[in-house]
């Protein structure tokens, strides 16, 4: 499972590099009358990143389930008072190992992180004028908040798909790829210099046609 996870990350980075290297990204607007240029090719790249992200999370989930089942069976062998259960359904082995007070504290911390993230996103959307920053900063806030939440996930949730999806290793790789793609999109198509050059090219074409 860990090998599959490593290969998926490699394929994701390779495929994105090939698309950027071999495909001529024109910079056409994805949404008509939009004031921020977001080409179709960039959107496809982000969708590819999310696809590999979901696939990687699936393999991580399977790995965690097998490790969890294995560890529980070993505990049963080492404890003669337990009835031996050989079941491949990991949910039959789940029991909260944390005391209730610790679980409650973790839930409060997670709620606080989510609240701070939402407040930051709202302030960003209301106060910033740059469309690029309105996109980039919320994405970064969500990634950082999710990264922090992974330290406080309750133990009996670790085998769930959503917990694997926000795993620190997975999220740090694919989240960084999304941020880099957004930065590339901005530098390639949305800086004032690029827009000025595009405007001059259009004016030249109009003059030639006339």
Query: What pLDDT, in 10s, does the model give residues 115-151?
Result: 999 999 999 989 988 878 888 899 999 999 988 888 8
Are 88 and 113 contacting, i.e. CB atoms less than 8 angstroms apart?
A: no
Q: How far is Cα 34 from Cα 10, in angstroms, rounded to an integer?
A: 34
Q: How much is the average pLDDT of 69-82? A: 71
Looking up tokens 């003059």, which residue turns up? 207
Output the six-digit token pair for 161. Answer: 């798909």
Tell me the two tokens of residue 75. Answer: 């505990």
- pLDDT top residue among 44 and 101: 44
Residue with the larger pLDDT of the pair 140 and 162: 140
Helices (H), 79-191: 100-127, 131-149, 161-165, 168-189
The domain ranges of the chain are: 1-97, 99-209
What residues have CB less than 8 Å from 131, skipping those under 6 apart?
35, 36, 190
Average pLDDT for 97-120: 81
């Amino acid at each position: 499972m860990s090998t599959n996870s490593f290969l998926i990350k490699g394929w994701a980075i390779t495929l994105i590099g090939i698309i950027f290297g071999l495909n001529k990204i024109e910079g056409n607007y994805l949404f008509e009358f939009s004031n921020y240029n977001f080409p179709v090719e960039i959107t496809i790249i982000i969708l590819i990143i999310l696809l590999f992200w979901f696939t990687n999370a699936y393999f991580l989930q399977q790995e965690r389930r097998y490790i969890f089942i294995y560890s529980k069976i070993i505990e049963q062998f080492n404890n003669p008072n337990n009835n031996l259960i050989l079941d491949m359904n990991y949910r039959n082995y789940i029991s909260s190992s944390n005391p209730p007070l610790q679980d409650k504290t973790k839930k409060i911390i997670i709620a606080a992180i989510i609240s701070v993230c939402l407040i930051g996103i709202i302030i960003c959307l209301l106060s910033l004028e740059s469309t690029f920053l309105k996109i980039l900063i919320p994405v970064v806030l969500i990634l950082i908040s999710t990264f922090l939440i992974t330290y406080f996930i309750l133990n009996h949730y670790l085998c769930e798909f959503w917990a694997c999806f926000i795993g620190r290793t997975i999220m740090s790789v694919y989240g960084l790829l999304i941020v880099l793609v957004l930065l590339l999109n901005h530098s390639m198509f949305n800086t004032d210099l690029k827009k000025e050059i595009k405007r001059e090219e259009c004016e030249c074409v109009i003059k030639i046609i006339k």
